[in-house]
Amino acid sequence: AQTVTQSQPEMSVQEAETVTLSCTYDTSESNYYLFWYKQPPSRQMILVIRQEAYKQQNATENRFSVNFQKAAKSFSLKISDSQLGDTAMYFCAFMKHGSYNTDKLIFGTGTRLQVFP
Amino acid sequence: SQTIHQWPATLVQPVGSPLSLECTVEGTSNPNLYWYRQAAGRGLQLLFYSVGIGQISSEVPQNLSASRPQDRQFILSSKKLLLSDSGFYLCAWSTMGDTQYFGPGTRLTVL
């Protein structure tokens, strides 16, 4: 069974600085997706970034980028130029790529990020 | 563009009462649909998923059930609520094997 581990329950960063959130996962699959979702105080889960395991290039979305190390099964999220609106709970998630009825998301326990002015 | 709606946004119910939470998706056809529960301060737990009308798969045996009466409608129900059913319920959709997008959620408190 797949597992996702986020070892940092809480982190803080000053506005405009850079912060990196860690995520490791365990799987025997070779083809899968990895995601970072953000959950602000409103509690809606918002997709931040997605990585396909077969792609060697790290995904980037504006100020958000990932460091995907497939051999090490590591998937960290880097937030550059942190903004107050980045304050949220961040969840790392894994999904096996395959037949449509196996697209279940496996979530980590989350990292609470606080951005200070 | 696709949008996903959930209602009600907030619900307070007594123990033993029935429950019906609704989720609808607009702007896509034949989506995969999901119900998740998030207990306070914890991650998400997948409860049910559906790949088509009338097709429901349960992930966790519990007091809840799900139905999909229409292509873009997903309903979470209970005949008798328990205290342990309290939590935040999220609906999500995806196209086959791809990214899941979440609704705004329903906060359920069982007293």
- SS3 sequence of B29-70: CCCEEEEEEECCCCCEEEEEEEEECCEEEECCCCCCEEEEEE
- In total, the C-beta contacts within 8 angstroms joining chain A to chain B are 56
Where do we find the tokens 């059913």?
Answer: B85
* Min Cα separation A101/chain B (Å): 7
Given A37, A91, A103, which is nearest B94 (Cβ)?
A: A103
Lookup result for tokens 């992930």: B59
Across the interface, whether the CB atoms of B97 and A47 are under 8 A apart is answered no
User: How high is the pLDDT of residue A75?
Assistant: 97
The mean pLDDT of chain A is 93
Does residue A91 sit at the B interface (CB-CB below 8 Å)? yes
Q: What percent of chain A has pLDDT over 90?
A: 80
Listed range (A29-33, A79-83, A89-93) with the worst mean pLDDT: A29-33
Give chain A as a 3 state SS string.
CCEEECCCCEEEEECCCCEEECCEEECCCCCEEEEEEEECCCCCCEEEEEEECCCCCCCEECCEEEEEECCCCEEEEEECCCCHHHCEEEEEEEEECCCHHHCCEEECCCEEEEEEC
Percentage of chain A modeled with pLDDT above 70: 96
Would you mind telling me the total number of residues written for chain A in this entry? 117
Which residue of chain A comes nearest to B47, CA vs CA?
A104
Residue A71 backbone phi and psi in degrees, to 5: -65, -40
The DSSP bridge partners found for residue B91 are B35
Q: Distance, in angstroms, between B49 CA and closest chain A CA?
A: 9
B22-77, pLDDT tens digit by residue? 999 999 989 999 999 998 777 888 999 998 999 998 888 678 999 999 999 999 99
Q: How confident is the model at residue B97 (pLDDT cuts 50, 70, 90)?
A: low
pLDDT at A101 over 70: no
The C-alpha of B96 sits at a distance from chain A's nearest C-alpha, in angstroms, of 5
